[in-house]
Structure 1
Amino acid sequence: MQQFKEYTGSVYGGLGHLLMCYYQAKKLPIPEKLHQIQNLERFDYALWRDLLSTLEQQLPQPALGLEIAKYVQPKHLGIIAYLALSCDHLGEALQRYHDFHRLIYDGGPLQVEAQNDYLSIRWSELPVHMTTQLTDEIAIALMMEFLKHFMQFEDICLHEVHFHHPAPKNIALYEQYFHCKVRFSQPITQVLLPVSELAKPFHQGDQTLQHLLLQQAQALLEKLPNSTRTDQRLQQAILTGLQKNMYQIEHIAQQLHISVRQLQRHLQQQGTTYQKRMQEVRCLLAEQYLQDPHLSLQEIALLLGYSEQSAFQRAFKQWTQHTPQQWRMQRAS
């Protein structure tokens, strides 16, 4: 492990759970190192690479990374799964993935660049000893599975997928998975996506997280003395606005197709203000996010629209008389 010391990247703890799910599904002996990271918010990228190499030795098969990625669930992706709920189309989701992907998989900076009619999505090159075919393919497959939770996979028409490492024995497995031409021994690892795909809308089905947020909205509505359709729309607008970091009253009023003054008057009639209503939403969401053991306080702060973790901690103490850490520990016990 000495050769990895110069690299300090890390991966989201949920990926340790993903790997555990795969081991259990395949009924394989679970390495002690995998047991040890199950309660960590993050762990070293070098350890992730080491765990994947160990699995590859236990279960040598082509396209192993694609198989592992098929077991991913929103809970394994943390903050990005929550943020993606507010996305309307593929382009917006990819932008979110670009902005926050290192919170999940810090295996190298993600770069997105237009190349004529295609969008190149690629990972900056790491030292040769830090990457393998398995680390590269699982990075791409995780991104594709992330999109699969919000769109029908067959609807995403990739142009080509390139891998830097030499071709394995069964290239057909990769082309069946990605539904496009897959090339190996290429200068860089990348996904080429037609620009025309970016406008494709998401299919908003009965997603677990979306249902969760709607439950939170309903819980808030039940506390209101005179719930109206405007209140229902306001709650949902604030929820999605927080996820998009566009929750200012001017933006929310625009979403409701009313003026800021009309919105303020409506809330005044209920004896409250926009700031108080937004803080109510933030408080309930904060309690929900804190129940996810893999979300760090920094990530929760981002989800709630705070630029600094300290601002979130101060606000939570005002709402509940407890710090987020105290609330989380009490809930766990």
Structure 2
Amino acid sequence: MRPCVALLSCRPVTLPTAVASAPPEFAADGPLLIVLNAGSGRADADETQRTISAILDAAGRPHEVLRIERGMDVAQVAAEAVRRAQGRRGAVVAAGGDGTLNAVAQVVLPAGLPFGVLPQGTFNYFSRAHGISSDTEQATRALLRARPEPVQVGLVNERLFLVNASVGLYPQLLEDREAYKQRYGRSRLVALWSALVTLLHVYRPLRLQIECQGRQQPVRTSTLFVGNNRLQLQQIGVPEADLLAEGQLVALMLRPVRTLAMLGLMLRGAFGRLGEAEDVLRFGFERLGMRPAAPRRTARVKVATDGEICWLRAPLTFRVSPRPLWLLTPLPEDRVEPA
């Protein structure tokens, strides 16, 4: 029998959370505090900064660039950007990949400031889903005319995620992929090879206690993946992606399967057909509790949020944030359709 079948009915009926907060004060000529990750993506950070500054200077838009160099704490730099933007009707802009966006948004969200994006990463799921170009020049020009719009974000305990959060095999895949990238460079081939190596090792499935809409049920799964990005879910073939527009998150749980079957699931996802797999359970929710079935007194769980690994104390609660992130969204004529 497939696990956790009862949770398929976990459908809240509340209105989307992201419309419940008043928009922040924002001036079209307000300062832009740009947090630039010098190590994101493949572009030269100095050239990226020159491009951004040249466009903003030509437009007469006040701005400051706060660079994140190797070894620096992203949260501290983002907090300084928030401090400088507050009271000036300005905005904080993250220039980096999804991990950088996550770290900066973690600080911006409670401050209630507008949040801008200049994508510099490899996948850029968050920016692409909102029509923001991956070309720095084009994205900067669009930022000049962008206006704040409420965007739903997810939380696992109090940690924010823009794209996805997960426990189990998926965080291990991400951790191993990063180690391989450090040794062999960033490429899709390296990412694929690291995934194959990870899957060839024996991985013990998770035994979890899941709670949703007042129902509790034990499950056994190789991974629990929670999505908050319509583009990513659509690309792997998950029809529940439309539930995000209803103020929900989307959960995927994979049955424990052998290596060859897991490779088959990966191929289905690569070809946009994961939703057809019988070994994947999918459902929408607004709040989902999770803990190890036999937790230790101080149980900690490895969690991936937007590609970054952390350890959180159990139990975990996945939920829609009670406040939206006010994203500086391009005007319709500046939007770029995701490739």
Q: TM-score, normalised by structure 1?
A: 0.26
Q: TM-score, normalised by structure 2?
A: 0.25
Specify the structure having the higher radius of gyration (Cα). Answer: 1
Indicate the structure with greater helix content. Answer: 1
Larger RCO: 1 or 2 (CA < 8 Å, sep 6+): 2
